Amino acid sequence: MASSRKDISEILERWKKRGKQGQLEKVSGEELEKKVTGAKAVSTEVRPSAEKKKAPVHETDLTAVMPTGIEKLDDLLMNGIPRGYSMLVMGTPGSGFELLAKQFAKAGAGTENVTYYATNESAAEVIATMRYFNWPTNMTIVDINTQYYEKVLQKELEVARLQREGLTISDIADIEAEETNVLDEYKTINFHDEMLYDATSLTAPFRIIIDSIDFFFEHYPPQEVIAGLRSLKTYVQNMGGTMLVTSVKDSWEVKIEHALQAAMDVVLELEISRMGSTFENRLIIKKVRNRPDKNAILFYSITENGLTPEMVMRVA
């Protein structure tokens, strides 16, 4: 526990030192969809993080349940996911866990403040999937995938290319472009800190989707990512929002995966198995806080409605 407190205190110290240039960019899903479809004169101006505004906990109804986007899954849980709960969705490649994240997002679109943190695909790709299934797009998308490339990776690749051509870091720093030098703003933004800062600016009713947490494990100390997620989960719990986090199953050390599962209220696992000439998809309800009787296996297929349940098997 001491380590977790130390990790989060270090994050808070970095927040105090952060500059405006570090803020994540956000875009409206509806505006982006209109732009993609060629609608007339639509503003797609990127907006800074929402202004932090705390609401008293007693103003939220913590006994309410929110839909997951899959009616049969709601029935197997508590007629939905209780407000204040956080859910982890782990899956094997090809099982559709990223699609489930989008179904969860569409379930709150229009009635909740939905913020989708995309780390593995661009905002345009998220919107394209939503449009394919004819799901609403009135949500906010934080395109960490593209911002990481533009603000970090692209600059690193440019410097690496120049170094390969024989230039030193000092040489590169001295190169003046027409408007700016190659290393201008060559600073590694801490996307983990920025995501936490941004997410804790939301007010209820809100719905957070982090698709996926693996990006942060790849770039930041795992214990710090777990500490940050626990703090965010506590914020969600006390403010009466809901949260869904995705991760590729078996990608990390067992202790990290166990810590990730322990931090969440609900844990789902999606897997796909080959059965002769066909495939079988299973959604496993592995954990529901204080309700082990809710454990079950749900067989599903991917249809025009997204993940579609076909059969349920209760776990004895």
**Is position 151 within any domain?**
yes
Q: Is 60 exceeded by the pLDDT of residue 159?
A: no
Q: Is the pLDDT of residue 177 over 70?
A: no
- What does the pLDDT read at residue 19? 59
pLDDT at 242 exceeding the cut of 60: yes
Average the pLDDT over 58-62 and give the result: 47
Is residue 45 pLDDT above 50, yes or no?
no
Q: 274 pairs with which residues across the strands?
A: 279
In this prediction the pTM is 0.81
Q: How far is CA 109 from CA 36, 61, 140, in A?
A: 19, 19, 10
For the chain, the domain total comes to 1
pLDDT over 80 at 61, yes or no: no
Q: What percent of the chain clears pLDDT 70, i.e. is strictly above it?
A: 75
Per-residue pLDDT, averaged over 133-154, amounts to: 89
The predicted structure's pLDDT at residue 104: 98
58 found inside a domain: no
Do you find a cis peptide bond into 82, omega within 30 degrees of 0?
no
Q: What is the CATH number of the domain that holds 266?
A: 3.40.50.300
Read off the tokens for 71: 């009616």
Euclidean distance between CA atoms 35 and 136, whole angstroms = 15
Cα separation, 240 vs 255, in Å, equals 29
The mean of the pLDDT values for the chain is 82
Higher pLDDT, 236 or 25: 236
The whole domain housing 208 covers: 2-53+64-314
Q: Could you tell me if 16 and 10 are in contact, meaning their C-beta atoms sit under 8 angstroms apart?
A: no
Ranges 11-25, 183-197, 233-247: which has the least confidence: 11-25
Query: Within a domain: residue 13?
Result: yes
More confident residue, 62 or 113: 113
Distances (CA, A) of 314 to 104, 279, 295, 298: 23, 21, 7, 8
Asked if residue 59 belongs to a domain, the reply is no
- Distance, CA of 92 to CA of 299 (rounded, Å): 15
Q: How far is it, in rounded angstroms, from Cα 208 to Cα 230?
A: 14
Lowest pLDDT segment from 10-14, 87-91, 166-170, 233-237: 166-170
pLDDT-wise least confident of 100-114, 163-177, 253-267: 163-177
Does 170 reside within a domain?
A: yes
Is residue 158 domain-resident?
Answer: yes
* pLDDT band (50, 70, 90) for residue 288: very high
- pLDDT at residue 316 in the model: 57
Flag whether 239 is in a domain: yes
Q: Is the pLDDT of residue 247 over 80?
A: yes
Note whether residue 127 is domain-resident: yes
